[in-house]
Structure 1
């Protein structure tokens, strides 16, 4: 319906939300060139959350989307962890 707009393929994605169907404003959805929308696959959603390609998410689509949506993006978690390490123990050696 009109509120479920989805994310355009060549623009930043809307937030990946925990859960599957019933999310407002088209989160977890991709807008196709013809204007139709579809839900992300779990593979697409995990890549948007910067999980490694080979990382395995188990469970049904809804369970997997809940896991992915509840996760802090992997690359963001690494940046935050690195900053905490720098703050607590001094600069990291690179």
Structure 2
């Protein structure tokens, strides 16, 4: 019985929840490094702070015609650029044709 309890305790420490998708923290990267990561990953989560993030796509066409979404440029601050064009983010189109987050 003691062995069973010990095994259960050890498993509780090693078997945790699946980690969230890795985020690139834009303010810690150069603009070129961020662009390269987006180009390689094609679709990556880019954080501009600890609490603000977007899914950034390498291709602006990735969002078109998906649930009424369109794309817009994804500008984020990096170590060397206050407004680096990292890629494209999907935006929900409103009924009047404009885009919103």
Same fold (TM over 0.5): no
**Structure 1 length normalisation: TM-score?**
0.27
Report the structure, 1 or 2, having the larger strand content.
Answer: 2
Structure holding more helix per residue: 1
Structure number with bigger Rg:
2
TM-score normalised according to structure 2 size = 0.26
